[in-house]
Structure 1
Amino acid sequence: MGQVAGQVFRDVPSLLLLFFMTNVLGIEPALAGAAIFVPKLVLGVGCDMAVGILSDRWKHRFARRWWLLVGAAGAPLAIILLFHVPDLPMSGKAAYVTAAFSLYMAVFASFSVPYLAIAGELSSDTHQRTVLMAWRLVFTAIGVLVGGSVAPYIVQSNGGGQGAYEEMARFLALVCPLALGVAFFGAARAARQAGVAPAVASGARRLSFGEALRVLAAPRFSVLLGSNLLQLAGSGMAYASMLYFLTYNMARTDAFQLIGGLVAIACTAIILAQPVWVALAKRVGKKPVYLLSAIGYGTTYLVWAFCADAGTVAAYVLCFIASAFNSGWALLSFSMMSDIAGEDQKHAGLYSGAWIAVDKIGFGLGGTLLVGLLLSGFGFDSARAVMGQAQTDLAIRGVMLAFGVVPALLNLTAAAIFWRFGRT
């Protein structure tokens, strides 16, 4: 249940915020992308690492699950402020979004890092951790459905203007604290059932910055982290570009409705694929399955980029295949990370903080900064978008690159790096 809140917090800005800023607020794409990416880079990374280190240092007196309540308290305010943008000049609107998204990132860190660290504490068996991560992916699908299907439906059904986004934010401000509250009480029960002893004060000293870097730089972790960064940048680009791709490349006037169907297909694929990936990982190992799914994901998006005219059914089929492969590398990367954190409990929060920070950097780098720069570089006109006018052929080509070609190259590169240097 905690993953529902985490996925909503992750996906709603990635899917809707850039489109909201360019097509509703009229902010130029590169400026809009920078306004989102800078808080992710500065506040996101800083808060993730700080919460990770503090959750390690304080776990003997402040159990990690209590951080979930901190997130539950801050989530409604953060979501509502993000989409309630006052009427200001373009630069003022961009500055407001930067400030609101900074708060959003701090709240996100307060629950996402401890939530992930808890997973490595619930079992010492590597296969059982894969099963736990598979269930996490099932609830990821539910979170994706809420953030990627229900949220766009609310926007479309309320007219698609700023008021519609504000209505969506008020709905999500109810969902996220509810999910985190359930996770808070469930975490204590899960720990008791798993036989996890309460942490006691161990007199552990504080890690210096250099020592923390040396822990994170160990090849087993750093190669996995670097590969994941490239994959997340690619998937972030594809996700953030999807509304643009549907609207301009597929020429769909019902893009918000169609994306709801695509997200529902994606969620179905994620859930159905989990038993397959778990069984394959147990049979042939985590690394081969990770590589297979990363290559499959990249290849599918490359095909999709050149099939904009193939119609709705083809889009559904390609979305199903891409989502199944996406869930494979997401499952196995989290499972391998939880193995590392579970074997080194002293630094579990540090590993989780770095992992979540890279998740936000990668998804933000791809889904905001790179997409914004590509769209601006290829001449996407926000003023024409606000008025509902067509874009140039060059701008539409830029959307295609951002949606499918560059994400495919990033994922295939990640697979090559992990094949050469990675180890489980």
Structure 2
Amino acid sequence: MRYQRPKGTADILPDEAKKWGYVEETARMIFDNYRYHEIRTPLFENFEVFSRTSGDTSDVVTKEMYDFHDKGDRHISLRPEGTAGVVRAFVENKLYGPEHQKPVKLFYMGSMFRYERPQSGRQREFHQIGVEAFGSNEPELDVEVISMAMDLLKHVGLTGVRLAINTLGDQETRTNYRQALIDYLDPFFDELSDDSKTRLHKNPLRVLDSKDNRDQEIVKGAPSILDYLSEDSQKHFEAVKHLLDTLGIDYDVDDNMVRGLDYYTHTIFEIMVDSRSLGEGYTTICAGGRYNGLVEELGGPETPGIGFGLGVERLMVLMDAQEVKLPVLDQLDVYAVGIGEGTSEATLKIVQALRNDGFSADRDYLDRKPKAQFKSADKLNAQFTITIGEKELESDSANVKSMVSGKEVNVPLKDITANFNEVITNNFNFDE
């Protein structure tokens, strides 16, 4: 029987994993600069964690969730997104307590799962990098989160990004706009898709997010939520726009954008790139917004929050399409070559000593001839070779060669294993 990976999943092989590692380490660096700290939550949660927060009319809950009953008849879901699990952890572990500095700034990285049609940059098991910040309702925090997302994409080398923002306002705004939207859509009821018919009176904002072509034509004439903002919502959104202008961050206001999950309030945003590698037109690779009320939904105290999620697979496709050049991440410092009987133990001791001293080092494990070993050193782009033969064994020395300049020196083994950095400094120019 031939075994294959499940549909909608991918094997991330070593060469590709180097790119992933670079993106993840860059994200950690950026997040550290903004003082965000890592949190790791379970791959699965109780079903209600996602159904209560995402909304029972969202595609995530109605179509895409991987959920099942376990052996204890508990209703379990693989996480379809990162925010709900982080909020659950925030509440359960009382991170809202006075001993925690506000806002509480967190980030996560990991696998998410949604049952949907696999396509370029979109898998059933996919990966997200995301951030969440709790405890501040100030528009300055909204702008910090947006700025951090833009900063990350810039640092990984992505170009041609477009930022779109909108506001979903507060409860007063949503109530007023909900009725206006129903009044507009009701005359088109028979023309709407089945999904939108179901959602119209439960959550009409979901109709704005429909992917059905006919629905999209209908909602083009829908009233704008910007005309129904409460005074507080208007003030918050104006402050966000002003602060983005202050930082020189370009943006477009898209008043039809609602995001795919029901917990968002006030500021929402999407960062897009126009690339044929992901289909026609602009494709969203990073998105998020404010979700005041979500902490209370999961049993916590009234606590405002805001965050974003970035799709790593989509980012990788775009980086490849834009031919982003990554730094060398796996430089081999030393390759140890053994020639003749009795040298295997010596080269093993050498590479282990070098590794303990902070150098990357390798050697032959296939009992190959010297020519094949040197060929491997060259193929692996080793900076130095350390060669030891029977003559060197007798004199307790080894030959150290710079693969860049070709210069070679004989050095006592004890000097190599004690302080190889000093050996390099004393015998080779750093410009080599």
Q: Same fold (TM over 0.5)?
A: no
* Higher percent of residues as strand: 2
Q: State the TM bucket, normalised to the shorter chain.
A: under 0.3
Q: Which has the higher contact order (CA 8 A, sep 6+)?
A: 1
* Higher percent of residues as helix: 1
Using the size of structure 1 for normalisation, the TM-score is 0.25
Using the size of structure 2 for normalisation, the TM-score is 0.25
Higher gyration radius (CA): 2
